[in-house]
Chain A
């Protein structure tokens, strides 16, 4: 990269390689004043191209306004970033799309986005791979026959016209649609029919929350939960950090009130009440384990004890156990800035919970119903009604868009039978799935990176989705389809822009003229607009269920409850065909490539089953009869011993492709199960009860099949405490790895300057590090273990997918892993997460032992791995105390040419037989250097962000220059919480940790330290 080039912000560039291929450039020490402010530059840069067409190969031909652009056309090898909105789920997180030479290669969180605030979850990041999925439908088809759009439109419109004539029922079944444009299009479209209805459902439903508010506030709304305003948080079976509604947004908010480096220290208190071990539970200060059939009772007793405090008379009496009393007390102390969230899909329970929030005065503060969230609007009752309609053959045309009822709603009944009753089934879909297989007309939709779209995930937050690549197939968005079928075909951009001009622009906050408003929005990716007023009645106590909750069904104390839950890595399974997500180990079980029946150790002992035994579970089905499922057992500490927890989202159609994934050799085993798919489909075991999908069920029979199924668990030992008798007395726990500090101790030490630990002595004279010295600090108290960083690293560094068998052989390739440790005491299970990556030790043990100098130290303190020099003795890995080196056991070939478009050109694709590991994203460091040099200024603190740090929703990772005393990392290294793992080895790692904090007020705290 020559200095002559005009440098552009955030553009990445090819690092210069020295003869041995180390990815470094000659160290540059930029001098001179800092340049213009980032935001202002971005704005200028954005406007310069506003409204002008950007041309070039594989670039959108319409007016795409890059988030960042330089006056001249793209420079090969330079990245351009576009702001957009993530389509991974309905949460609507803001993303920045990294484009290299016209192809998007990475999604990152948009730091300015009001909801996600720069974070992006694993699923969101993984979505980009689906853009290059060669199995995607590229052409419309009728009855499986590939056709052109004109043919399809012709046939379909004829059909619809016919229906319009004799007033047949038209039903549009979609997931929650956050796009105002699409919603208006749908209205227009359905208006053309006498009997037309739009039904929405969410694959993982929280319909009960909306229905509860219908009762309590007279409006079917989903409140916007403001965790960033709650000092005491109680979660009742709501996995809000992992899978519930909008995890990234919630995580950001959750962290906002856990600022331990601030003065005074502020840290919210979080109680989680749940039956299974969820990611959120794992992060809670206190976790209360109750059986699922107790949830309602817990809600009631919470309400009761709060009512008592407020002095409100309740129509019922309940005995409240001390634990709940305690929780209520904590809540009450923080009334007005506390929050109770409930994930139980049962209206009564939800009503009780909103009553609690009402009593605590949280409405309007920590729950926003005036400016609600639109992220989930599904209506279970409506979808059930629709299914009955279909069964009775009343539906003339069914248009399914973006959802997969045949899979998600298998609990309602047999969809193939049902849909055979519908003369015209249209499926607008991005992927082939169980439903599209049953549809007559399949209309392929473009990936969200290929289309114009918009969304309003929360009232007042409008976001735009812009295409960053020309469509790879002959696909059409829903809006385009509808416009075509209404006889006024328009392009997605026209539709969206037109709608914004007349509807959204009116609600603008700034007084820009339309074009500028639009450009600004596209440039930023979102716009803050005035929320459309929602008329809400005040809380109606009358809505409260009269009398105590009738026990839903008789649950005898000894029979097992089935708990179905969305997994952090796959949720409802929409992305099950994404190999990255399949290979991402579950944060709690650390198992990849499978779902399983989680049993508490006690339960397993009772039933006499071991890890991997295949269990046959039988439940009674809603429509009478029984349903069975066969799953391998996983023994999960910390969950209620009367439940069996099973993840949804597995056994998806489209996972057959993984049969051949990973190295194929003599002793290789396939990544798919006996069904030929990855995992087992558990959704049929859901129940439809009391107008809602119920995620628990009673297991009538659980028998051992005698078969075994190997699970790909990448962590075989779960505790920091070594096996009994294998350590000197009192030293069983390895505190050198994960350290903890009590909140009280921290508060004391806050004022004092931290005790600076002297570096252990060294035999050798030490090397000097002038200029930069890169290091990383990871806040173990902040890390929720969600795994976003693991995936970010995998995408950024072209890390291959190795398949189940290799994972089972402990040969995962992830450069960054999140170790998870359980600690058991008094029946309580504490969980600690520890992101583990190459520590870039100053005295790196790996370097000394390499015979060929394939791994050496850079002048900036990086431990470099020279792939093309490595001969693969693996001695370095043996000598690495953190075991963070990864070996290419096979040629992990990237056969799929289309998929290879995702590869990051700045990072070498490693060949067979070489060692690899975290490089601290050296390519990003070099890019930043080149830029700063071009602008003749030093690198700013925080300018270099490794992929893991960038995507972390909890902002737990900080990277920076340890030589700069004012850098954030240097400040954190002075924190009393700072420590280095295995410090006594004196390898002097550049990666440090901030201790886990225990809240003293929580009894559990006393067990730590």
Chain B
């Protein structure tokens, strides 16, 4: 093995940390008082969240009519946001599970945050199918529970019902995955806790973890199993979300390419969001040495790859629509590019296909500002992708007599902002009270890393 030539890589973790350093560095943000920057960010997010709450309360009290939907366009911002947020979530799972399976050690410093992001994103996503219902207070009817109506079950043929199962499974598994990963770190926090409360809470949550080698063995196996489960899960979830459209009879929705298209899109948007968050987090939390340029670059490369897939899908879709000879398909796609919503379509193409191409250049990949800007563009572009798919397909369907337009109301916009409020509020609290970096894993990685580097010095 020694004689195998291995290219020299800069260490994942810089500054040649000792185990104790790692523990200290990661737990510091939790132990010191929050910075002014944190407070401002938190205040802003909370404000947005409240705005959203007000909007949703008004909407539920008054009716869905407070949204801009109509007899032809039954879904607008609501389901767009739903798909958008689910997509965001997927990168988290991808980073924590898939990269784990591929033994990508660089994931260790970002996976904790990424998983948290998944959980919060799924929370935001789950809100929309709930509040988009005409009678949200009856939402529990989508679960098959014994009742006195016959008993009446649910329609297992409906993609919306598949969503119910997919999303709830996804949320549960992500949460469990995240928590299992947290246990050893909670133990660490417990043992260095200075306050009673912290000791108590961490003590309870760490389930009496004592780092026993026997437990570590089982623990690692289960972690591996979860990773193995989460990987197909993440693919199934977005495939099922895409079924909402793919199984319908609406031109522009009824498309077999959707499942892979949606999954790729999800990973793409997810990494966009991870980049956005990481670039902020490393600055705010002072973790530059843990989340290094190398991490950023690695993620940029994934963004290029998935962005490429997305671009290819757009092209394929369009080509097939024109080539198939189905006048309905033909119309829907030309209507996207030339119709009343052309502006949305071209924003989508610009942000998702063109912008990421810049990342081919190392200078841009390594410039935080540029990467940050591009990651924001990717988020915008992917939101518009969902908007285009949903609204442009609906607003002009089969009967020209029922064609109409869609304009969101203030309520919808407020609700959308609110979902970001919820997301960032949760994320900031997470940064505050949970180790943003998997301490135990990083320690392992550091040891491993040191091996590698030292092994191949001579």
Contacts and interface: CB of A to CB of B under 8 A. Distances in A.
B142 A871 contact: yes
B400 A821 contact: yes
A722 B331 contact: yes
Contacts of B157: 848
B134 A871 contact: yes
Contacts of B339: 723, 726
A502 interface: no
A715 interface: yes
A874 B155 contact: no
A666 B410 contact: yes
B238 interface: no
B350 interface: no
Contact of B134 (A720, A809, A874): A874
A834 B401 contact: yes
Interface residues of A, number: 66
Given A810-B404, A875-B158, A737 B399 contact: yes
B138 A871 contact: yes
Interface stretch (A70-78, A251-259, A880-888): A880-888
Contacts of A715: 401
Interface string B326-364: 010011001100110000000000000000000000000
Contacts of B75: 874-875, 878
Contact of B250 (A719, A731, A879, A888): A879
B142 A851 contact: yes
A850 B133 contact: no
Interface in A690-721: 715-720
B313 interface: no
Given A810-B404, A879-B250, A851 B338 contact: no
B403 interface: yes
B411 interface: yes
Contact of B155 (A718, A734, A851, A883): A851
A733 to B, nearest CB: 10
B287 interface: no
> Which of B58, B249, B409: most chain A CB closer than 10 A?
B249
B297 interface: no
Interface residues of B, number: 63
A987 interface: yes
Interface in B198-257: 244, 247-250
Contact of A727 (B135, B331, B411): B331
A666 B411 contact: yes
A536 interface: no
B74 interface: yes
Interface string A648-692: 000000000000000101110000000000000000000000000
B64 to A, nearest CB: 6
B331 A726 contact: yes
B69 interface: yes
B248 A874 contact: no
A624 interface: no
B399 A819 contact: yes
A696 B320 CA distance: 56
A88 interface: no
Contacts of B409: 667
A547 to B, nearest CB: 50
A726 B248 contact: no
Contacts of A890: 62-63, 65
A183 interface: no
Nearest to B158: A851
B366 interface: no
Contacts of B39: none
A811 interface: yes
A381 B400 CA distance: 49
Interface string B386-404: 0000000010111111111
B402 to A, nearest CB: 4
Interface in A1-37: 19-20
A311 to B, nearest CB: 51
Contacts of B168: none
A872 interface: yes
Contacts of B134: 870-874, 887-888, 912-915
B74 A849 contact: no
B292 interface: no
A871 B401 contact: no
Interface stretch (B92-100, B159-167, B176-184, B273-281): B159-167
A872 B401 CA distance: 24
A809 B72 CA distance: 10
Interface in B273-300: none
Contacts of A924: none
B373 interface: no
A269 B64 CA distance: 50
B398 A727 contact: no
B153 interface: yes
B248 A879 contact: yes
A629 interface: no
Contact of A848 (B139, B158, B403): B158
B66 A665 contact: yes
Contacts of A849: 158-160, 247-248
A848 B69 CA distance: 22
B81 to A, nearest CB: 15
B401 A717 contact: yes
A265 B148 CA distance: 58
B314 interface: no
Nearest to A911: B135
A24 to B, nearest CB: 14
B415 to A, nearest CB: 13
A8 B394 CA distance: 48
A871 B64 contact: no
Contact of A887 (B71, B244, B394): B71
Contact of B65 (A716, A851, A889, A914): A889
A851 B154 CA distance: 6
Interface string A913-929: 11100000000000000
Among A666, A820, A848, A873, which residue has the most Cβ atoms of chain B within 10 A?
A: A873
A725 interface: yes
Interface string A718-748: 1110110111100100100100000000000
B405 A850 contact: no
Contacts of A912: 63, 134-135
Contacts of A719: 400
Given A722-B400, A871-B134, A887 B155 contact: no
A886 B71 contact: yes
A817 B62 CA distance: 27
Nearest to A856: B155
Interface string B308-329: 0000000000000000010100
A607 interface: no
Contacts of A723: 335, 338-339
With most chain B CB atoms within 10 A of its CB, the pick from A20, A720, A852 is A852
A872 to B, nearest CB: 2
A748 to B, nearest CB: 29
B249 A806 contact: no
B161 A883 contact: no
B154 A913 contact: no
Contacts of B158: 848-851, 875
B132 interface: yes
Q: Which 10 A-B pairs have the closest CB atoms?
A: A872-B134, A913-B134, A889-B65, A819-B401, A874-B74, A883-B402, A810-B70, A913-B135, A890-B63, A851-B160
28 contacts: A19-B150, A20-B150, A665-B63, A666-B411, A667-B409, A716-B404, A717-B396, A717-B403, A718-B400, A719-B400, A726-B335, A737-B399, A806-B65, A810-B72, A817-B401, A834-B401, A836-B401, A853-B152, A877-B74, A878-B74, A879-B250, A882-B402, A883-B72, A885-B71, A890-B63, A913-B64, A913-B135, A985-B398
Given A819-B401, A878-B250, A914-B135, 17 more contacts: A19-B152, A665-B62, A717-B403, A719-B400, A723-B338, A726-B338, A731-B330, A737-B399, A848-B247, A851-B161, A869-B141, A871-B136, A873-B133, A875-B75, A877-B71, A878-B74, A881-B250
